[in-house]
Amino acid sequence: MSSGSSDKNARNAAYIEKVGTTDISYAVGTIDPQLERRVVRQFDTKVVPWLFGLWLLSFIDRSNIGNARIDGLSKDLKLDGKSQY
């Protein structure tokens, strides 16, 4: 039983040593240019249109609030600025 236990301890020590390493050379490297182009293109076609749509809605909302205030919304809702809620 002790030999099985010592084998397990040796494997655990090797695993801990391997995991605890600060050598990240395996993670550092060059990105495949073709893969990068594909990922950027997918981002451009799927995420950017949504961001543009959200920006456009935000812009329209801000301009509508300004136009409503100019058109007399504050007076219609009796907002005098003195009452908080």
Percent share of the chain, pLDDT over 70: 71
Two structure tokens written together for 30: 């060059």
Most confident by average pLDDT, 27-31, 35-39, 52-56, 75-79: 52-56
> 33-46 vs 48-70: helix axis angle to the nearest 10?
30
CA–CA–CA angle 82, 83, 85 (5° rounding): 150
**The model scores a pTM over 0.85:** no
Over range 58-62, report the average pLDDT: 91
In this predicted structure, what is the pLDDT of residue 16?
Answer: 59
Mean pLDDT along residues 40-62 = 94
Is residue 2 pLDDT above 90, yes or no?
no
